[in-house]
Structure 1
Amino acid sequence: MKKSVAFEHYADIITKLIYQMKHLKPTFQESVAIGIVSMDNWEWPQGVGLFALYSYYRDTGNLAIRDDLIQWFDKRIAEGLPEKNVNTMCPMLTLSYLAEETGSAHYMDLCKEWVTYVMEEMPRTDEGGLQHIVTRNRNEGQIWDDTLYMTVLFVARMGVLLQDDTYFQESIRQFFVHLKYLTDVKTGLFYHGWTFIGCHHYAEALWARGNSWYTAGLVDYLDIAPLPTGVSQFLLTSLERQVRALSRLQHESGLWHTLLDKPDSYLETSASAAFAYGILKAVRKGFLAEAYRAVGLKALEGVLHKIDEAGIVHGVSYGTGLKGDLDYYRNIKQCPMPYGQSMALLLMVEASKLEDDRVTKSKMTLS
């Protein structure tokens, strides 16, 4: 593992991260309905990876990345898309951007079809929350923090494309309902899930990756959706309180435990990368105080230690369900995953922006 990496090496790391993401294969027999390791499938891990790749293309103008994304979607569409649910919705966020950029009527029709399912057919909980329905499991009455990233960002994005405020309002409602029931008011962190059937938080797991979907997702949501000031202020105060708690719980390595408040649980890289990305981007955009930059940079260094010379991100927990036993979370296996690669990719790009800002400020000072 690397001990330290200079800013000028980010480009090399990014190239390796992307290569490894594209070529990941499971090293064990997956028991999930749709494979979540290989990028050859259509599920939420692939969706997270696709959005990271598109974000990188958007920042760099690397047309080869865009062409790869188009080829990926064309192949998956030709194979036939899976059933619609919260998790399989995730790739649609990237498709919505490609639909706009390419002018593809077919892409746009698919986006409209899938967002209409969310708005009109996806099962709801009390108070209109999006029930966290996944392939082969309806999860009756349950809301999970994962849903905001996997589905709600896409809903907001379609509000932009269709110029329809209905979609923005729905995305706002989902953020509010999820924050209402998932926030641990004592810490400002988020529980993995809530059920309206029995009204409880299962194991009361303050699960790292679930929390990180908010940290990383919110800064991108604010890029996507034109929100009323009061809404954005509310969401950002929730972010600040979460990050304040994260700063207290950060391990000396810069990483966070997979159960944030349980030091006997292992340190987990994908959540740590997502936390670092969200924190550093929020500081850069003025959403968080400058004092939090040190938390993000410490996490950046910790993540860099978990990337090997080939560009594989280690210490990533496999897909994780909502359970009533904290030991379940402690025992999730670790292996390279698309979201580990992609969150590290987003983090490296954000770190590059920080270095660009540093160089620019240095030149201004010298002049």
Structure 2
Amino acid sequence: MSFLSRGLLFCAAVAVALSAFRLPLPAAEPVRLFGDATPLKWSERMARSEMERRGEGMFHGGSPRARWGYETSLLGLSLLHLGERIGDEAMIEYGAKTAESFLGADGLIHTYKMEDYNIDMIPPGKVLLFRYEKNPSPHLKAGMDTLIEQMRKHPRTSEGGYWHKLRYPWQMWLDGLFMASPFLAHYGKVFEEPALFDDVANQILLMDKHAYDPKTGLHYHAWDEKRAQDWANKETGTSPNFWGRSVGWYAMSLVDTLDFFSPTHPEVEAINDVLRRVADGIARWQDPATGLWWQVLDQGTREGNYLESTASSMFVYALAKGINRGYLARETYLPIVTKGYEGIIRDFVRRDGGETISLTRCCSVAGLGFTMSNGRPRDGSFEYYIAERIVDNDLKGVGPFILAGIEMQRLLATKDSPVAVRGWGDYERVLARIQAPTFPDRDFDITQFGARPGADASAAIRAAIEACHAAGGGRVVVPPGEWTTGAIRLLSNVNLHVSEGATLGFSTDPKDYPIVPTRWEGVELMNYSALVYAHDEENIAITGKGTLDGRADWDNWWGWVRSPGKPSPQRAARNRLIDLAETDTPVAERVFGDGSFLRPNFIQPYRCRNVLIEGVTLRRSPMWNIHPVLSQNVTVRGVSIITHGPNNDGCNPESCTDVLIEDTLFDTGDDCIAIKSGRNGDGRRVGVPTTNVIVRNCTMKDGHGGVVLGSECSGGIRNVFVENCEMDSPDLDRALRFKNNAVRGGVLENVFMRDVRIGRVAEAVLTIDLLYEEGPRGEFMPVVRNVQMENITSTASPRVLYVRGFEGATIDDIRISNSTFSGVTATEVVQHAGRIVFDRVTINPEVEVRGLNSVPPPTR
């Protein structure tokens, strides 16, 4: 069926679509079953089983034994996360009560004694913080402040490490890192106490320094600075064995703490190194037969040792979350966590009837010092660890089991995982993810399908594309000459090759562009196809040294923006589209096209994978030139974009992952590169950020900005690298620009620029404008953070910085280093900004300025 016929049938279908119809979000992978359920379902079964088993006994007053402590809050926190994930308010309230029920209206914590200085009493603070961020309350803050006061006074080792308890002097345990570190880091982020991050980093690194054993790749359970305990090695101070759950506590502490650390913190990479060491140790000692882990990790099948469920659940949770957050390499650890989770479900989960389940083979407790109830010393020996009771449904296993299912569901629902990006050290990992597609050595010349110079070649091009696709792929070749076409739709495994000397000119008749699913200025709708369009295709390309000419001018497409002396023809439709999106009208009912004057883009791969645009020249685009949407693995290389019409942005990746733009010339009527992720409520509905964008070796001439983030950025943008570019034109306004407001919202973070040479720009080298259009008049506070510029030179700019925020918005961690800015003529603009750091920066004004007290050198 032809592209035009498909388009007409689609339009007819849209006209009778049900109001509930919505275009699908990017398809998630079907999540495999473990036994008869997905990981998320197993978590839900365990959560409901525990809520039924324990009832009110978890809460203050519900049982004489109910206590404020880490065990109940670990289950509580897991219920909060699961309840939020599946939309169960009752589960959320139950989880919250594991801590909140112990908290009085004045913030007094029942059953808690600060004077014990017991680090095990800190984890319920994580539940309070979770709740506080949703609904700030003075009594929650008072309770958290009590815990913070304990930790400010908590006894420490000589290097500042927290004692595990007052009655365990000079001792640090792996357990204690989980108890305090995530809470302190979270508190530090919410209440802006950066010193807490330094303290937490110190705790983590001290434990690694003193407890790590390079021979096994594992960490000992504990360390005694004074070597005074009977269990302590008299030379190293470490306990004698590697207890599974203690390593699990440490692993969970690392992935949970990193949630809150700024990527610019000086120790964040060191913490990641610790996590990788811990993960490697966990992987090394996984039981090859079952995928599970032993009570004493390195002792395997030694008599009395057993495969233990709490440590196994912690390990799967920590590794799966590490992959999901980009801290750990997916290809390395996915087989390990999958096998581990299989083993947990197979060997540790018992069906108790219906949907009720239990977690078996849980070590009840283990510690160091003092004695067990039977008089055996807790001496850290192998014999001690295997002697502790084995029980069902211990909360120290149930909570991690629930969390593990949440992370496994997320992990298995995608084919890929993110890269945690902190700076240029992660550049190569991001670059390695982007691979241009290749095609079979097979050509389909459009003249073989009836194309003739001077005649409409649309049908011939369509037939060649369909034949190439049916044959398994290759090149559809546009030979030298002048060719005319309407809309082109690419199919999987097709490379549209525009030969040197060929010009492919596009019709300016809107009737030649079918109505298709698309995005227009960040909002989903049904509108004109791009001049070259693809939807849900894989391995597609536009290559060659020829020219694609959109033939736009003020008598056709460009005239839709404005007409002399008349209102903008497109304005009414633009406003109607925004209104439809904000009232949550289904996308299939947002039908535009004839009479709406919303111009098509030039090239738009929509929901595609493995895209290459290389070598061609683009001229006279109706609107945005290259606009990949919801696509992955996109390469734009060696393209020349020369077009000065309205909104003629050069390349606008939107809600895309893994994009490389290199060796490309931008001479445009708007932003050269504008990175986007959807507008306002519609962008939040789709909720797909743009991540992992590399721009290198490009030349930016005319345009509003060289590299721009926004303004349609409601889904967020992160991990952008820009290097070795030339930017120079009196009609180029900024080099690096962020534009956002409180209606769009979105987090823009991890943006790195280096080795960029800037000639003349009209406004500033760096512009961060959060007052763009609606400015502060909205509920979605914009965030710009972790922006690093180094080795930047400019020869003529009014100013270096034009930075405007407002109360409630975030502009933070802006760092410029090793850079020289000359010819500066105006005052810097900085409003409502956080940390802006200049390191080895020179700013030379156009006219030399002398200090008020400057005097000439003495004469001889």
> Are residue 301 (structure 1) and residue 342 (structure 2) matched?
yes
- Per the TM alignment, residue 72 of structure 1 is displaced from its structure 2 partner at its CA by 3.6
2:314 equivalent in structure 1: 274
How far 1:63 moved relative to its partner? Answer: 2.1
* Bigger mean CA deviation after superposition, 108-117 or 200-209: 200-209
Higher RCO (C-alpha under 8 Å, 6+ residues apart): 1
Give the partner amino acid of 1:317.
Answer: C
For normalisation by structure 1, the TM-score amounts to 0.86
Cα distance between partner residues in 2 of 1:284 and 1:210: 23
> 1:71/1:284 Cα in 2 relative to 1: closer, same or farther (>3 Å)?
closer
Change beyond 3 A, Cα 1:21–1:54: same
Indicate the residue corresponding to 1:141 in structure 2. Answer: 170
Is the 1:82–1:88 contact (alpha carbons within 8 Å) kept by the matching residues of 2? Answer: yes
1:112 corresponding residue in structure 2? 145
Could you tell me whether the CA contact under 8 Å between 1:194 and 1:202 is conserved in 2?
A: yes
Amino acid of the structure 2 residue aligned with 1:257: W
Q: Which amino acid is 2:293 matched to?
A: W
1:209 to 227, 245, 261: 245
- Cα shift at 1:14: 2.0
Q: Deviations over 1:225-262 (max 9, x none)?
A: 22536522222222222322322221111111111111
Residue 185 of structure 1 pairs with residue 214 of structure 2? yes
> Would the aligned equivalents of 1:51 and 1:94 in 2 still touch at CA under 8 Å?
yes
Shift in Å, 1:111: 0.3
Match of 2:254 in 1: 218
Matches within 5 A, 1:92-103: 92-103=125-136
Whether the aligned pair in 2 keeps the contact of 1:49 and 1:338 (CA below 8 Å) is yes
Equivalent-residue separation in structure 1 for 2:282 and 2:395 (angstroms): 24
Q: 1:267 & 1:221 partners in 2: Cα distance?
A: 28
Do 1:39 and 1:338's aligned partners in 2 also have CA atoms closer than 8 Å?
A: no
Q: Which runs of 5+ in 1 are unaligned?
A: 26-36
Give the counterpart of 1:170 among 190, 199, 202.
199
Report the secondary structure of 1:308's partner residue: strand
Counting matched residue pairs gives 348
User: Which AA in structure 1 matches 2:309?
Assistant: T
Distance 1:23 1:41 in 2: 19
Deviations 1:153-205 (A, max 9, x none): 11111101211111111111111111111111323311000101225445421
**CA–CA distance in 1 between the matches of 2:262 and 2:83?**
23
Matched, 1:344 2:401: yes
Instruction: Give SS of 1:143's match.
Output: strand
Contact 1:7 1:355 in 2 (8 A): no
User: The residue matched to 1:257 in structure 2 has which SS?
Assistant: coil
Alignment partners' CA distance in 1, 2:365 and 2:394: 9
Q: Aligned with 1:5: secondary structure?
A: coil
Partner of 2:292: 255
1:305-342, Cα deviation, whole Å (9 max, x unpaired): 21112221111111210234221111111112112111
> 1:224 aligns to what SS in structure 2?
coil
Relative distance call for 1:227 and 1:40 in structure 2 (3 A) is: farther
Instruction: Give the conservation status (yes or no) of the 8 Å contact 2:44–2:402.
Output: no
CA apart distance, 1:46? 1.4
Looking at structure 2, the residues matched to 171 and 236 of structure 1 have their Cα atoms a distance apart, in angstroms, of 13
Does the 8 Å contact 2:222/2:239 carry over to 1? no
170-179 or 317-326, which deviates more: 317-326
Deviation at 1:69, TM superposition (A): 2.9
Segment of structure 1 superposing worse, 188-197 or 64-73: 64-73
Worse-matched range after superposition: 329-338 or 4-13: 4-13
Q: Which of 366, 378, 386 is 1:320 aligned to?
A: 366
The structure 2 residue matched to 1:329, chosen from 370, 385, 388, is 385
> Which amino acid is 2:408 matched to?
A
Judge conservation of contact 1:258–1:267 (CA < 8 Å) in 2.
yes
Cα deviation, residue 93, structure 1 = 1.2
- Go from structure 1 to structure 2 and tell me whether the alpha carbon gap of 1:355 and 1:41 turns closer, same or farther (over 3 Å shift): same
CA deviation map 1:280-324 (0-9, x unaligned): 222233322212210111101011121112221111111210234
Counterpart in the other structure of 1:194: 223
Amino acid of the structure 2 residue aligned with 1:213:
W
Is 2:182–2:257's contact at 8 Å kept on the other side of the alignment?
A: yes
- 1:7·1:352 contact (CA, 8 Å) conserved in 2? no
Counterpart of 2:291, as a letter, is: G
Contact 2:76–2:94, Cα closer than 8 Å, also in 1: no
In structure 2, do the counterparts of structure 1 residues 24 and 193 end up closer, same or farther at CA, with 3 Å as the change threshold?
farther
Match of 2:68 in 1: 42
d(CA) in 1 for partners of 2:65 and 2:223? 30
From 164, 169, 179, the equivalent of 1:132 is 164
- Structure with bigger strand share is 2
Alignment of 1:231-242 (within 5 A): 231-242=267-278
Secondary structure of the 1:127 match is: coil
**Comparing 240-249 and 307-316, the one that deviates more:** 240-249
Q: How far does the alpha carbon of each residue in 1:42-94 deviate from its partner, in whole angstroms, 9 at most, with x for none? A: 22211221222222234344322222233343422258131232001111111
The TM-score, its normalising length taken from structure 2, stands at: 0.38
> CA–CA distance in 2 between the matches of 1:151 and 1:334?
27
Identity %: 23
Answer 1 or 2: which has greater helix percent. 1
User: Does 176-185 or 12-21 show the bigger shift?
Assistant: 12-21
Partner of 2:324: 284
Contact 1:192/1:201 (CA < 8 Å) preserved in 2?
no
Q: Which runs of 5+ in 2 are unaligned?
A: 1-32, 55-62, 228-233, 369-378, 418-535, 539-606, 609-860
1: CA distance, partners of 2:414 / 2:406: 13
Write out per-residue CA displacement over residues 95-124 of structure 1, whole angstroms, 9 at most, x where no aligned residue.
1121222211101111012112102x1111
Cα separation, partners in 2 of 1:231 and 1:41, compared to 1, 3 Å? same
CA contact (8 A) 1:182 1:193 kept: yes
Q: 1:210, CA displacement in angstroms?
A: 0.7
* One-letter amino acid matched to 1:188: G
SS in structure 2 of the partner of residue 194 of structure 1: strand
Return closer, same or farther for 1:115/1:8 CA change in 2, 3 Å cut-off.
same
CA distance in 2, matches of 1:294, 1:232: 26
1:33 is matched with which residue? Answer: none
User: Are 1:82 and 2:112 matched, yes or no?
Assistant: yes
CA contact (8 A) 2:70 2:122 kept: yes
Which moves more between the two structures, 340-349 or 43-52? 43-52
SS at match of 2:223: strand
Using the TM superposition, name which of 230-239 and 315-324 deviates more: 230-239
